[in-house]
Amino acid sequence: MLFNSLTFVVFFVIVVTLYWSIGSWTARKNLLVVASYIFYGAWNPPFAALLFSTTAMDFWLGRQIGKAKDRHKRRVWLVASVCMNLSMLGFFKYGNFLLQNFQWLLAHIGIIYQPPHLDILLPVGISFYTFHSLSYTLDIYRGVLQPTRSLRDFILAVSFFPQLVAGPIVRAGDFLPQLVRPQPLRAGQFLWGVAMMTLGLFEKIVLADTLLSGSADRVFGYAGPLVALDSWAGVIAFAGQIFFDFAGYSTCAIGAALTLGFHLKDNFRFPYAAIGFSDFWRRWHISLSTFLRDYLYIPLGGNQVRPFRAALNLVIVMFLGGLWHGAAWTFVVWGLLHGSYLVIERVSRILFEDKAWANNLATRILAGAATYAAVCIAWVYFRASDFTIASRMLGGMFGQHTHGDAILSTREMLQVALVTIGMISVHCSLRDSNIETAVTRLPRWIVTAAWALMACAIILTQGTSNAFIYFQF
């Protein structure tokens, strides 16, 4: 079920009420397991069985890795876990994509092959829960985590409903320790959780769905050439939409977890105030970028290797990061673009880091603006469903369609402009801080008014149950 649906409101109230009225910690955890499976099964009940089977397999494989004394055996069990998780992901998410590309390759060598179209329904959130589960066996193999004895605890770590379908990617090592002893009900923590849920829903329902998505959808869905103003407005609208959509989900997840006494780490840290691309990736989808860093980039050698190899590592990681987002070449190009940005940034650092002008305010502002613009350009490939649309959009953005059409109303452009200015101002002002510090420092009446205003705006918008963009990943 979606956070922005009536079903979730009722479900959440029931779960929270029962959770805090039960005294036994074991019963509470059992309740959360049942609730999480109801939450997930409400999309498509059979997929709950799939979730359980992969979880149970990883639990068993984790124990085998933990038990094995011999390094070779540990490796075998780990390979089994990695293969099981990735093949599940590969079948459901990349099955048709791989078949299509195989067909294309064969056609190029003169073999006509018509693959059957696999009518595969993508289990919602499979990319997320696969990584939740995989982190467990990986960390046991690395020796940073001991296998848990409780299957129930591990099931809960993988399927905990606030973060189950669209992240943050919570590693078992971060979550399992929280299941050891119960947290008492603290009014401040509970209400701060509710406030974060309000903020997350406001970001999703009001900012992403109401104020930005219409412009982005119209621009990317238009079949003809557009003038530069509309093209840029559409791309900037999407840049805001995807941030508010995904950050909104993460904020809701963190808030919902807090109301139940669990602590999830930040997934976004004001990314549009980033100066440079490595800074951007330290602020955007932090749980994925740290996952890729720890389990892929560093093991590949990270930046402790020759510069060329380090650059190649970056590109490989971003290529796979792009592919993780979706089974399409547009996502791959998006990932590769970010990989190239990171390489260019690294080269620039080597060349100019020592220069006095490189760290002055003007350069930093320019670098921040350039980062934002480059990220927006990359979003074109992320949002466009094919390369024709992406090329047409880029053509429009860079003035190739001087006689193109104008399709956005003045109101839509004003909405995009105002929300974007507001978003970037907030990101810049909180760049080196966090939301908790801002709430502490602001006058109480402003925090109260903002909270009430967000709640009223959510009610006024009546949340039309648009799915979160990241559900499809």
Partner 1 sequence: MRSFISNFKERLRLPRLFFRKPSRAEQIHGGPPLEFERPIPPVPWRGMAVVVVLVVITASVGWELYCRAIGYGPTLNDNEDLWTLRRRAVTPESIVIIGDSRGWFDLDLDELQKGLGKRPVQLAMGGGCGYPLLANLAKDESFHGTIICSVVPRLFFAPPGTPPMERAEKAVKRFHSQTPAQRASQYLAFPLEEQVAFLKQEELTLDDLLKRLPIPNRPGALVPPRLPPYFGTLDCERRARMIEACARPGSELAQRIQQIWIPLFTPPPPPTYIPKEQFVAKIGEAIGNRFRDITIAVEKIRSRGGKIVFVRFPHSGGLKELEDRETPRAKTWDPLLKMTGAPGIYYSDFPELAGFNCPEWSHLSAGDSVEFSKRLIPHLRTALKM
Binding of partner 1 at residue 26 (CB under 8 A)?
no
User: Cα–Cα distance between 420 and 180 in angstroms, integer?
Assistant: 43
* Binding test (CB under 8 A) with partner 1, winner from 98, 320, 407, 428: 407
Tell me which residues in 373-402 interact with partner 1 (CB under 8 A).
none
For 256, other C-beta atoms within 10 Å of its C-beta total 25
Rounded Cα–Cα distance for residues 376 and 290 (Å) = 22
Residue 207 CA from chain centroid, whole number: 18
**Cβ closest to partner 1, residue 187 vs residue 361:** 187
User: Site for partner 1 (CB under 8 A): which residue of 299, 307, 399, 422?
Assistant: 299
Q: Distance between CA 130 and CA 50 in Å, rounded?
A: 11
> In the numeric block, which tokens belong to residue 208?
């992403």
Residues 421 and 431: their CA atoms lie apart, in Å, by 15
Q: Which of 109, 111, 180, 362 binds partner 1 (CB under 8 A)?
A: 180
Picking from 323, 338, 284, 276, the residue whose alpha carbon sits closest to that of residue 127 is 323
Q: Is 301 in the site for partner 1 (CB under 8 A)?
A: yes
Residues 259-278 that bind partner 1 (CB under 8 A): 263-265
The verdict on 415 binding partner 1 (CB under 8 A) reads yes
> Which range in 96-104, 158-166, 180-188, 347-355 contacts partner 1 by CB under 8 A?
180-188
- Based on the shown chain and the rule CB under 8 A, indicate whether residue 409 belongs to the binding site for partner 1: yes
- In the complex with partner 1, which residue's Cβ is closer, 326 or 404? 404
| Shortest distance, position 224 Cβ to partner 1, whole Å | 3
Q: What is the distance between the terminal CA atoms of the chain, rounded to a whole angstrom?
A: 16
Handedness of CA 222, 225, 230, 234 (dihedral sign): positive
CB atoms within 10 A of CB 97: 16
Query: Under the criterion CB under 8 A, does residue 314 sit at the interface with partner 1?
Result: no
How many residues contact partner 1, by CB under 8 A?
A: 86
What's the min distance (Å) between Cβ of 369 and partner 1?
26
Please select the residue that binds partner 1; options are 315, 457, 471, 472, rule is CB under 8 A. 457
Residue 146's alpha-carbon distances to 141, 295, 296, 317, in angstroms, are: 9, 17, 21, 27
Nearest to 435 by CA among 204, 307, 218, 255: 255
Instruction: Please list the residues that pair with 405 across neighbouring strands.
Output: 226
Instruction: Using CB under 8 A, pick the residue from 168, 214, 248, 321 that binds partner 1.
Output: 214
Among 223, 356, 361, 362, contact with partner 1 (rule: CB under 8 A) = 223
Residues in region 120-139 near partner 1 by CB under 8 A: 138
Pick from 465, 466, 471, 472 the residue near partner 1 by CB under 8 A. Answer: 465
Residues taking part in catalysis: 325
- Return the residues of window 72-131 that contact partner 1 according to CB under 8 A: 75, 78-79, 82
